[in-house]
A = this chain, B = another copy of it.
Amino acid sequence: MKIALLGHGTVGRGVVDIIDSGTGALEVSRILELPQFCNEARMTSNFDDIVEDDEIDAVVEAMGGLEPAHGYIVRALEAGKSVVTSNKAVVAEFFEEFVDAARANGASLFIEATTGGGIPWIAGLMKVRRVDEVSSFSGIMNGTTNYIVDQMSRSGAEFGAVLERAQGLGYAERDPSADIDGIDVKNKTIISASVAFDVACTHDLPVSGIRNLTKADLEFFASRGQSVRLLGKGVQELGSYAVAVEPTAVDARSMEAAVPDNFNLLSCEGATIGPLKFYGQGAGSLPTGNAMVQDLLDLAAGVRPIYDFSRGLAYDPTLLSGDYLIRAAGFEPSGAEPAGAGYHRVPDITAEQARSLLDEALSVDPTAFMAAIG
C-alpha cells in the first residue's frame, strides 16, 4: 500500500523509521516537505503531487496545527484517500467535517495517534462500544503534566523547577500553555467523547489546568491520602453527556496516582465489560509513529472505523458534578467550608460551575488552585 506523509517532524520520522525497518505491505512513496528540505526523490513541497497521485491510497498527516492540515485532510478524503492523523487539534476542531467527507467519498479516517500516543485507546473505546454503551471515561491524557505532578510528588520540588526539567528533557514545549492549561487534554477529551459516545462533542466545555499547582498543594492533598492528576473526563446517561478537563484529587493508592513520569492512563467503563484501563507512552516519535503504522495496517487489512454522530445526544453539564477544594487568598465561596491549609471545600457543584468559581477566585488571587474531589 502506497502512502504519502505530510509532516516530517518527530512523529512523521517515527512513521518512516518503523515502515522502513520492515512492516511489509507499506511503502512511503511521497513526503511533503518545505522546498528547502526536499532532498530525496520522494519529497515534494506541492500537495497536488500527492492528492492527484492515483497510486497513493492513504495520507498520513503528522504536521500538527489547524491549517494547512485541515485543508489537506479534507482534500485527501475528497480524493477518496484514507487519512491517518496524529493531529489532535485539527481532529477535535473538524471531526464532524472529516467524518462527513470520508463517508461521502468512500474513504476512512484513522485517529488512534491523536489520543494516548501509542496506547490502543481509540481502538479500545471502539471495541467497548460494539457491545456496551460507554457509560464514562477518564484519563491522564497528557504526559507533560503527569511528569510535572509525579516529579513534584516524588522530589518535593516546586512547579517551575520541574517544568524547566521537563523542557530540558523535551517533554514540555518552550511555551507550555497547551499542556499546563489543559488545552491538549481538552482536544483529546473532545475526541474521546466523540468516539465513546457517538456524538459530535461540544467544544465549549469546562477546562482548567495545573499552572498554579504548588508543592504545598500536593502536601495538603497527601495529608488527605490523595494525589492530584489532570484528568479529561466524560459521562453518558439517558441520552445526554457531559465532558470536562480539571485537576482531580485521586486516592494515593489508586492506579492513577501510581502513573509515573510522562506516561498516560486512560479508563473507560461499560455495563458488561466493567472498568478497563489502558497505560503506555502517550507521546514520542516511536510510540506515536507505531499507532499511525497500526492504523495503516488496519486500513490495509480492510478495517473501516465507523463514527456515527447521528444519535443526537444532548450536552448536559449537570451530569458532571461533585465536591471541589479551592485555594484562593482573600476569596470565600458562598456555601463553602474551610478545609485547612487555606483551602475551602465547595459541596456539590457542576464542573462548569466550578470553572466559573475558579475564574472568580483567579480575579482575586491569580495563584488560586482548584481540584475536583469526586
Contact = CB atoms under 8 A, between A and B. Distances in A.
B290 A131 contact: yes
Interface in A281-334: 281, 284, 286-287, 289-290, 293-294, 297, 302
Interface residues of A, number: 41
Interface in A71-102: none
Interface in A111-150: 118-120, 123-124, 127, 130-132
A325 to B, nearest CB: 23
Interface stretch (A30-38, A249-257, A341-349): A249-257
A226 to B, nearest CB: 14
A290 B270 CA distance: 10
A118 B273 contact: yes
Nearest to A24: B130
Interface in A14-33: 14, 17-18, 23
A205 interface: no
A178 interface: no
A279 B280 contact: no
A157 interface: no
A131 B272 contact: no
Contacts of A123: 127
A274 interface: yes
Nearest to A275: B280
Contacts of A275: 279-281
Contact of A273 (B253, B258, B271, B290): B290
Contacts of A259: 255
Contact of A302 (B18, B119, B124, B302): B302
